[in-house]
Amino acid sequence: MKIGNTFFIGLVVGALWALIYSVVLSVFAMLVTGDVIVPDIGNAMAGGAVGAGFYLLTPVARREELWLPVSAVIAFVVFWLMQKATGVSVVATSVQVLTWVGIFLTSAVSWHLCFHDMRAERQGRYQLEVILIRVMKGFGFVFFTIIVMLPFYVMLMTSLKSQQSLLANPLDLSINIWQDPKTLFRSYIELFTDYRFGLFLLNSAMVSVATVVITLLFSIPGAYAVSRLKFPGQAVLSRSILLIYMVPAIVLVIPLYAVFSQLGLRNTLIGLIVVYPATTIPVAVYMLQGYFRGLPYELEEAGLMDGLSRLGVILKITLPLSLPAIASVSLYIFMIAWNEFLFAFMFLDDPDIFTLSRGVQSLNSSEIPRQHLMAGAVIATVPVLVLFLWFERFLVAGLTAGSVKG
């Protein structure tokens, strides 16, 4: 077999994967078990390079079956020998052994994904770019999964810990799920009993639902008029409606604070229910008008011919046809209202009418243990994530159809 550039690239890539996985899996094992596992990066990279090199030297046809685990074992053995030679031994406890086995198995899977159809010989630009892209993609999957997951993982696990164990070892995010649920969920129980999170949850739900209903009541006729009826100013309106959405909330907050204070609307939920729809209606109109335009006008004309009035057409033809769009707009508006922080923070002083955002913010004090803060964060996050996962298809279609907010 000829040995060419691909083989050397394989060595580098093998070392690289060993580096990535030894850091990632060691940290993961630390977070899950609480044991300290210091990754021996140098030796791991040597093992990875040898394993990947060996894998590349085996014939392409035979890689699927036996040679993948064999090269993983070779990598592990090289790693272990290197450790003996350098005199450091970090493979002692069973957790550590398991971690290192995991590191080289996942490494081997990555070699397979990158090189399963590659030969060790010299190859041209096309093949090298294919390898580069595979490596980048693999790295991307690991990277994005970790950065997306880590904050949520920390949030959830911290909310289930006790103050003492958190301070004793901040890395130990392991949870004994078999313990008494009353101790496991003590932060949540305290939030609902002592900190009135049930009420906040109710307030948030009320404000969000009211915002959705009001937004739809205003935006459906508005979007219909803009997309279907002819009137002077139609073009300007349909183009400028989204511009309204570019106006920063922070510019509105001072005048609204001033005026609402004087009108006595500031420290009320009504105040929020007035402000939220005003900021969401433009987006809703924009999203809905795009959808209405896409509906075949012939259907509506047929309705008009058959003697329906305009309102009849809207109620009996347009609305039933646009239910998916209305669902996605509703969800999106619900999310905006549920997650809104600035106005809730500026307007609400009275704990009786706190929304969840405001309630969680009030937990951010040095006197309140941080697992309470994280439990509050989980309570605020779960409903909206559940809704999102449930209706993801709708939401994704709606978001991209109508181009949207930040």
Partner 1 sequence: MNTGTPPKGRGPLGKSEMLLAYSMILPTLLIVLSIVLLPLLANFWISFKPVQLGDLRAPSVISNERIRPTPEAVGDTAEISYRLRNSSQKGAITGIELSDDFPAGLSLAGELDSRCQLQENSLRCELGEYEPGYRETLKIPVRAEQGYIDQPVNPRDSKPQIAGTADNILTNNKFTLENFRKVFSASEFWTVLRVSLYYTVFGTLGALIFGLFAAQLLSTTFPGRGLLRGFFLFPYVAPVIAVAFAWVLLLDAGPGGTLNAILLKIGAVDGPINFLGQRAVPISFFGMTLEFPVALTTVISFEVWRYFPLSFLFILARMQSMSSETYEAAEIDGASPLQQFWYISLPQLAGILAVLFLLRFIWTFNKFDDIFLLTGGAAGTRTLTVDVYEQAFAVSNLGAGAAVAVVVFIVLLLSALLFFKYSPQDDG
Which positions from 340 through 399 interact with partner 1, judged by CB under 8 A?
A: 341-342, 346, 356-357, 360-361, 364, 370, 373-374, 376-378, 380-381, 384-385, 388-389, 392, 396, 399
Using the contact rule CB under 8 A, the part of the chain among 50-58, 70-78, 185-193, 259-267 near partner 1 is 259-267
| Helices and strands in the chain: count of H runs, count of E runs | 20, 0
144 touching partner 1, by CB under 8 A: yes
Residue type, 202: L
Task: Select from 231, 298, 307, 320 the one that contacts partner 1 (CB under 8 A).
Answer: 231
221 touching partner 1, by CB under 8 A: yes
Nearer to partner 1, 85 or 246 (CB): 246
Task: Select from 258, 299, 302, 319 the one that contacts partner 1 (CB under 8 A).
Answer: 258
CA distance 253 to 106: 51
281 touching partner 1, by CB under 8 A: yes
CB of 190 vs partner 1, minimal distance in Å: 17
Q: How many residues bind partner 1 (CB under 8 A)?
A: 104
CB of 232 vs partner 1, minimal distance in Å: 7
CA distance 304 to 300: 6
CB of 226 vs partner 1, minimal distance in Å: 7
Q: Residue 140: how many CA atoms within 13 Å on its side-chain side? A: 6
Task: Select from 277, 303, 398, 402 the one that contacts partner 1 (CB under 8 A).
Answer: 277
CB of 297 vs partner 1, minimal distance in Å: 14
Q: Which residues of 164-188 are buried (b: 16+ CB within 10 A; e: fewer)?
A: eebeeeeebbbeeeeeeeeebebbb
Q: Which DSSP string do the residues of 41-60 spell out, in sequence order? A: HHHHHHHHHHHHHHHHHS-G
Residues 155-184 that bind partner 1 (CB under 8 A): 155, 158, 166-167, 169-171, 173
| DSSP SS3 for 363 | coil
Using the contact rule CB under 8 A, the part of the chain among 51-59, 60-68, 174-182, 215-223 near partner 1 is 215-223
Using the contact rule CB under 8 A, the part of the chain among 56-64, 95-103, 277-285, 292-300 near partner 1 is 277-285
Q: Which two tokens stand for residue 164?
A: 């003492």
Residue type, 393: R
Q: Is 160:175 a contact under the CB 8 Å cutoff? A: yes
CA 404-405-406 angle, 5° bins = 140
Contact string 101-140 vs partner 1 (x = CB under 8 A)? ------------------------xx--xx-xx---x--x
Task: Select from 268, 310, 321, 368 the one that contacts partner 1 (CB under 8 A).
Answer: 310
CB of 85 vs partner 1, minimal distance in Å: 21
Q: Residue 30: how many CA atoms within 13 Å on its side-chain side? A: 14
CB of 57 vs partner 1, minimal distance in Å: 25
Q: Which two tokens stand for residue 98?
A: 């398991």
CA distance 356 to 353: 10
CB of 380 vs partner 1, minimal distance in Å: 5
Residue 315 per-residue DSSP state = I
297 touching partner 1, by CB under 8 A: no
- Other CB atoms within a 10 A radius of the CB of residue 15 amount to 23
CB of 147 vs partner 1, minimal distance in Å: 6
Q: Which DSSP string do the residues of 58-87 spell out, in sequence order? A: S-GGGIIIIIHHHHHHHHHHHHHHHHHHHT
Residues 12-71 that bind partner 1 (CB under 8 A): 23, 26-27, 30-31, 36, 38-39
305 touching partner 1, by CB under 8 A: no
CB of 336 vs partner 1, minimal distance in Å: 10
Task: Select from 11, 225, 283, 288 the one that contacts partner 1 (CB under 8 A).
Answer: 225
CA distance 79 to 86: 11
